[in-house]
Structure 1
Amino acid sequence: MFEHMDFNYLLATYGYWAVFLGCLIEGETILLLAGMAAHQHLLQLWPVIGWASLGGMLGDQILFWTGRYSGARLLPRLKRKQAAIERVTKLIHRYPSTSVFAVRFLYGMRLVGPMVIGASGLSPIRFSLLNALGALVWATVIASAGYWAGQALESWLGNLKPYRLPIALGVLVLALVIALVRHWRAKVKARRVG
């Protein structure tokens, strides 16, 4: 059974679900890969953007409501995220609308940002509208970047079909390395401050 399944089949069959679920949680890496897959005609760009927008918006709505009802109790427990929480708190007080839109573009803010915004008392309707707009812009920018990366790789390597799996694995490994380096740098910075 498994010898007949290849990467292209899995991507074409489960790609949109992977985009939705990946963007529900975090999303940039899976969305870049989906944009590259759209360039290779394994997925279509507009459905990728649509599913990514929906997943990103829904994930942030869940976090917003979590912050609204449990933020006062939950946020102080997130010791490792206190710097991010303080940055979002300052941002939400100075620029409430902009912070809803921008928080998904700021590294380290994607998960705590909507919770802090929910705890701030911002109107749920205002958050939902700005969140939907932000999710759409975010999905369009990241998926398009993946699409253009696919185009650049194709002009450099020629036919990408034999390279699809190595490219996907390379992007995932690169994302993991970047995340580990950022985590390590944050720990070093926390030790210096503490």
Structure 2
Amino acid sequence: MDFASISSSLIRLIQVHGPWIISVVVALESAGVPLPGETILVAAALLAAATNQIDIGIVVAAAAAGAIIGDGIGYTVGRRFGMPLLRKYGHYIRLDENRLLIGRYLFFRYGNAVVFFGRFIAVLRMFAALLAGANGMPAGRFFLFNITGGICWACVFGFGAHAVGTEIYKISETLSLVSLGLFIGAGSALSIIVRRYEIVLLRQAQRALPDG
């Protein structure tokens, strides 16, 4: 599917279902389901910049709420059922043994920062909450970084995309759609880089945690 098709599909989804669909998609992604949470946030922000169909404040609030709720669900599942559940069923959401080891290593090395900054990284965004719970991160500390991270992420990508879209739309409506394609393309490129960096992280994790 090309960028134009992705853009049209996401915008249509938002137009039909309204802001709540943003919360749902972001929440599911945050809980571990592989969905385009960040992309739908950017699409909604650009739609808000180009039309009066949706308010950017509502877009950001919906995304932040979805991020916080979804991470809360992921954390609760990880805390309640732990590594045994993730080892047994994690492959269904692309959370295999290697990624579990990387997750343990990241929490061992960076601690709280993984929950906050993981929100801004494609792969970690889906798994950070699950891994935080499974690795026994205290609930109070988790929710502090979860809430602040979710709000910051929604503001950065929501208001940021809206500002860019507003300026571009002044020049051309066509360029506004191009900007969405560029955002999606940048996200795809970042995902490729992150996947390649996983190999490096895995080697570091294997050295730091030889017992697996």
- Shift in alpha-carbon separation, 1:119–1:151, aligned structure 2, 3 A: same
8 Å CA contact 2:43, 2:180 repeated in 1: no
1:94 CA displacement: 2.5
Residue 72 (str. 1) matches residue 75 (str. 2): no
1:33 CA displacement: 0.7
Specify which of 125, 128, 132 is matched with residue 113 of structure 1. 128
C-alpha distance in structure 2 between counterparts of 1:91 and 1:75, whole Å: 17
Specify which of 65, 71, 83 is matched with residue 98 of structure 2. 83
C-alpha distance in structure 1 between counterparts of 2:160 and 2:143, whole Å: 25
C-alpha distance in structure 2 between counterparts of 1:64 and 1:116, whole Å: 7
1:121 is paired with a residue of what secondary structure?
coil
2:110 is matched with which residue? 95
2:124 is paired with a residue of what secondary structure?
coil
2:39 is matched with which residue? 29
* 1:134-180 CA distance string (max 9 Å, x none): 000010111123213312431331xx3x888x66995798589x39x
C-alpha distance in structure 2 between counterparts of 1:8 and 1:69, whole Å: 37
1:28 CA displacement: 0.4
* 1:71-117 CA distance string (max 9 Å, x none): 22122233543333323222212232211111111221222221111
Residue identity over aligned pairs, in percent, reads: 28
Paired residues, number: 175
1:156 is matched with which residue? 171
2:54 is paired with a residue of what secondary structure?
coil
1:12 CA displacement: 5.1
Larger Cα-atom Rg: 1
More off after superposition, 75-84 vs 140-149:
75-84
Tell me the amino acid that sits aligned with residue 60 of structure 1: D
1:37 CA displacement: 1.6
C-alpha distance in structure 2 between counterparts of 1:173 and 1:132, whole Å: 25
8 Å CA contact 2:68, 2:150 repeated in 1: yes
Any stretches of 5+ residues in structure 1 without a counterpart?
A: 1-6
C-alpha distance in structure 2 between counterparts of 1:20 and 1:29, whole Å: 12
2:125 is paired with a residue of what secondary structure?
coil
Any stretches of 5+ residues in structure 2 without a counterpart?
A: 1-9, 30-36, 204-212
8 Å CA contact 1:34, 1:146 repeated in 2: no
Root-mean-square deviation (Å): 3.2
- Shift in alpha-carbon separation, 1:133–1:173, aligned structure 2, 3 A: closer
